């Protein structure tokens, strides 16, 4: 009788812990994305931070030759849902933090970081233009979003 009770308790605990670990990845709080080039003059880094309500674009260089630029815009619910729908959380959290040789031979680097409502984060850095296959759809959408940052200082309100 005691052995049976211990077995049911163990199974119940495993089910609850598995359910809770999936919940940790059920809601994305923020998405970060960026590119950088080590041997560069001018704007060498570009970052975007997206939340369900807002996107912040920023560009900067490695020295004082260019002034950093930062601006923001609103994010529509449809746009946010388009980004987060189809993300396979289990796939992303199993990827290594660094894939390939980002920015080797000045080839550039890209990164994506997901922050979950649980506070957990998953950041993956990879060679520019060589995203992992299971991130391809998300990265393509983020690249489209990045294109909006090209005219950041001209069309969007300054931060």
- Identify the CA nearest to 35 among candidates 115, 116, 146: 146
How far, in Å, CA of 15 to CA of 78, rounded? 34
Is residue 4, in this structure, part of any structural domain at all? no
DSSP letter string over 16-71? HHHHHHHHTTS-EEEEEEEEE-SS-SS--EEEEEE-SSEEEEEEE-SSTTS--EEE
Is residue 8, in this structure, part of any structural domain at all? no
Is residue 137, in this structure, part of any structural domain at all? yes
What Å distances lie between residue 70 and 34, 93, 101, 159, CA to CA?
13, 29, 28, 6
Residue-level pLDDT at 21: 40
Strand pairing category for 109-116 and 98-99: unpaired
User: Contact at 8 Å (CB) between 129 and 136?
Assistant: no
Is residue 5, in this structure, part of any structural domain at all? no
CATH number at residue 51: 3.30.1560.10
Q: Which domain holds residue 138?
A: 26-155
- List pLDDT tens digits, range 34-72: 999 988 888 899 999 999 999 999 989 988 888 998 888
DSSP letter assigned to residue 157: P
Is residue 146, in this structure, part of any structural domain at all? yes
Q: How many domains does the chain have?
A: 1
Length of the chain: 159
Question: Vertex 62, ends 121 and 42: CA angle to 5°?
Answer: 115
Is residue 9, in this structure, part of any structural domain at all? no
Is residue 47, in this structure, part of any structural domain at all? yes
Is residue 48, in this structure, part of any structural domain at all? yes
The whole model's pTM is what? Answer: 0.76
Residue-level pLDDT at 99: 95
Segment 71-98 mean pLDDT = 86
Between residues 8 and 137, which one has the greater pLDDT? 137
Asked if pLDDT for residue 19 goes beyond 60, the answer is: no
């Amino acid at each position: 009788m005691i052995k049976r009770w211990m077995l049911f308790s163990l199974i119940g605990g495993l089910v609850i812990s598995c359910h809770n670990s999936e919940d940790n990845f059920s809601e994305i709080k923020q998405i970060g994305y960026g590119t950088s080039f080590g041997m560069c003059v001018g704007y060498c880094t570009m970052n975007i931070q997206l939340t369900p309500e807002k996107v912040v674009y920023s560009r900067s260089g490695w020295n004082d030759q260019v002034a950093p630029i930062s601006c923001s815009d609103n994010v529509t619910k449809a746009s946010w849902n388009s980004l987060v729908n189809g993300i396979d959380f289990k796939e992303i959290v199993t990827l290594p933090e660094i894939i390939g040789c980002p920015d080797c031979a000045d080839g550039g680097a890209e990164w994506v970081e997901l922050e979950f409502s649980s506070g957990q984060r998953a950041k993956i850095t990879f060679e520019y233009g060589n995203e992992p296959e299971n991130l391809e759809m998300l990265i393509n959408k983020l690249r489209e979003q990045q294109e909006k940052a090209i005219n950041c200082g001209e069309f969007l309100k300054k931060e």
